């Protein structure tokens, strides 16, 4: 019953997103076409390639997660498994990419416990890195705004005694659940190469969005800020259970973050274009993966 409600909410969300896009295009078609016409072909190409590189790095994250549990499928097989299952996340339910991945993992003779642990590790590395990079880079680039928000907090919340009690509570909780914290810290700890890969991944995705903004604003938009904004929007989009692949949520957060620099219409169009690039890159990689799978199967049968 609960799963049916979730699926229904996700279907409703899909319909709301499609309705919003349709109404927006209907009311702003000429303005949208004018915005798109200002986007140079070179910028489109570079932005799209940056997303493709990021998708390749996501496969590497999957490969590294499997390697943590001494499972070696080879990068090429990881590439085909990852990409073939990715479009499943857009189906209401948001579990079908995992269902597909689990099925292919079982075909590769991976046991259930390892399947669970590798999927959890891979997801943690991607989402946690997105959240931490997003928060840190936004704090770094928007520190004056954060200071203003802190200054507006009630005095009792920023009193040294309150902060001290909060710190003591955190220490007490960490001490009480020390073994649990140590277990999960060890299980989910980033390897140096995993940390490098996910950092490069968010730089690529942030760059793919940032470069499309440059033709539309006279004031400089911080590259670091856009990387942080993109990473945070990805993490929060993942956290919303009724938004398949974070669709709608990610774009809304990107638009909100761009309002100090661009008008709302331009921000909406550019966020939507970025999502289209993302989906097209996934379709392209699915086609490539299907071709590679067919080729590998054929070679296996003839050998």
- Angle CA(292)–CA(247)–CA(278) in degrees, nearest 5? 35
pLDDT band of residue 239 (cuts 50, 70, 90) is confident
Q: Which of 12-21, 56-65, 70-79 comes out lowest in average pLDDT? A: 12-21
Residue pLDDT, tens place only, 23-53:
777 777 787 788 888 889 999 999 999 999 9
Q: Alpha-carbon dihedral of residues 109, 112, 113, 119, nearest 10 degrees?
A: 90
Q: Tell whether the model's pLDDT for residue 172 goes beyond 90.
A: no
| Distance, CA of 46 to CA of 44 (rounded, Å) | 6
Q: What DSSP string describes 221-262? A: --HHHHHHHHHHHHHHHHH-TTSGGGTTHHHHHHHHHHTTTS
297 vs 278, more confident: 278
Q: Which of 91-105, 114-128, 135-149, 167-181 comes out lowest in average pLDDT? A: 167-181
Q: Which of 26-40, 73-87, 272-286 comes out lowest in average pLDDT? A: 26-40
| Distance, CA of 51 to CA of 170 (rounded, Å) | 39
Q: Tell whether the model's pLDDT for residue 159 goes beyond 80.
A: no
Return the percent helix, strand and coil in the chain, to nearest 5.
Answer: 85, 0, 15
Cβ atoms of 283 and 67 closer than 8 Å: no
Residue pLDDT, tens place only, 292-303:
877 766 665 555
pLDDT of residue 22: 75
| Distance, CA of 118 to CA of 17 (rounded, Å) | 32
């Amino acid at each position: 019953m609960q799963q049916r409600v979730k699926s229904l909410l996700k279907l409703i969300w899909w319909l709301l997103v499609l309705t919003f896009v349709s109404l927006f295009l209907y009311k702003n078609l000429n303005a949208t076409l004018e915005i798109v016409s200002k986007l140079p072909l070179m910028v489109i190409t570079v932005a799209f390639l940056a997303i493709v590189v990021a998708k390749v790095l996501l496969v590497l994250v999957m490969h590294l997660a499997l390697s943590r549990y001494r499972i070696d499928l080879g990068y090429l097989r990881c590439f085909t498994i990852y990409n073939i299952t990715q479009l499943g996340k857009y189906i209401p339910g948001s579990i079908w990419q995992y269902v597909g991945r689990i099925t292919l993992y079982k075909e590769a003779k991976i046991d259930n416990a390892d399947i669970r642990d590798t999927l959890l590790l891979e997801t943690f590395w991607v989402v946690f890195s997105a959240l931490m990079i997003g928060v840190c880079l936004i704090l770094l680039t928007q520190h004056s705004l954060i200071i203003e928000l802190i200054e507006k907090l009630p005095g009792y919340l920023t009193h040294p005694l309150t902060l001290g009690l909060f710190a003591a509570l955190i220490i007490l909780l960490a001490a009480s659940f020390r073994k649990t914290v140590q277990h999960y810290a060890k299980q989910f700890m980033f390897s140096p190469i995993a940390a490098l890969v996910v950092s490069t991944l968010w730089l690529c995705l942030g760059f793919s969005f940032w470069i499309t903004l440059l033709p539309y604003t006279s004031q400089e938009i911080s590259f670091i800020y856009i990387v942080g904004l993109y990473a945070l929007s990805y993490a929060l989009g993942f956290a919303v259970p009724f938004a398949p692949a974070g669709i709608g949520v990610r774009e809304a957060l990107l638009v909100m973050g761009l309002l100090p620099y661009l008008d709302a219409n331009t921000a909406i169009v550019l966020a939507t274009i970025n999502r289209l690039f993302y989906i097209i890159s996934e379709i392209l990689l699915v086609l490539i993966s299907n071709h590679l799978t067919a080729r590998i199967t054929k070679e296996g049968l003839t050998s």
